[in-house]
Amino acid sequence: MPELPEVETVRRGLLPVLEGAVIARADVNRPDLRWPLPERMAERLSDKRVAALRRRSKYLLADLDSGETLLVHLGMSGRMLVSGVTLGQFHHDHPAPQKHDHVVLHMDSGARITFNDARRFGAMDLMPTDRASEHMLLAGLGPEPFGNDFNEPYLAARLKGRKTPVKAALLDQRIVAGLGNIYVAETLYRARISPLRLAGDLAEPQVHALVPIIREVLAEAIEAGGSSLRDFRQANGELGYFSKHFQVYDREGGPCETPGCAGTITRTVQSGRSSFWCPACQR
């Protein structure tokens, strides 16, 4: 599932085409994705200007001049693809309609934004902009990793006394928003912390060190266009390339890249999810 860097990459790819532009027409080709789509969705989107395009955790938020906000969750296989516009050095012509093109936004510029989702695990909703933070998918989220509210004293307070593994704590969206399996694995590797350690057992300097490392890993991933595993694509259809820089994730059996460490990357299952780490240098 796309994590914060992938969603931020998509947001940045959509910005030149979507923010400040008018949705001339919206085509809604089915009544539901993961959940039912909003009533009269096509009507409520058509002829509306996008005042701002934001991201909250793993969700895209398009604020409309009607006072409503469109929420988009990509799910496992959702893609927001742009056509009919020049992005960078390339012009992306409109492709032929595809089977899983569920929502299509025809912009007044002639561009087209297509939400394609083969597995239909994605979601869309419309809500009042002034109450967007109260939406069921957003209300319980913790602070953004790049925001001022996410800092060393905050994280230390949230992890203090917790009897869950530190990996599970960092995946908890109520503690910090947007982190997923990939970037928690890479963060803990750089911090030299075992994913099996109980969060409450970490020394204060270890917890404090996690904050800048989380930001560093996420910033590098955004710069690389996210990580392409299975279905993820940027808005221009290109792959994300941070996966080429994985130090532990999906590298089971490979050598540890820590200078002087002779360890081997190990895969451990925690709560049904894979943890990749080096038992020799992550303690």
| Neighbour-count burial of 103, counting CB atoms closer than 10 A to its CB (0-12 exposed, 13-18 middle, 19+ buried) | buried
Amino acid code (one letter) for 259: P
Q: Which residue of the set 19, 95, 273, 279 is catalytic?
A: 273
CB 197 within 8 A of CB 166: yes
Closest-CA residue to 190 (of 239, 261, 141, 273): 261
> Which one from 55, 56, 58, 167 is the annotated catalytic residue?
58
Is 2 a residue of the active site? yes
Is 58 labeled as catalytic in the residue annotation?
A: yes
Q: Are 74 and 59 in contact (CB under 8 A)?
A: no
Return all residues near 56 (Cβ < 8 A) that are at least 6 apart.
138, 141, 144, 177
Is 273 an annotated catalytic residue?
Answer: yes
Question: In whole angstroms, what separates CA 31 from the centre of its chain?
Answer: 25
Expressed in angstroms, the distance from the first to the final Cα of the chain is: 28
- Show which residues are catalytic: 2-3, 58, 273
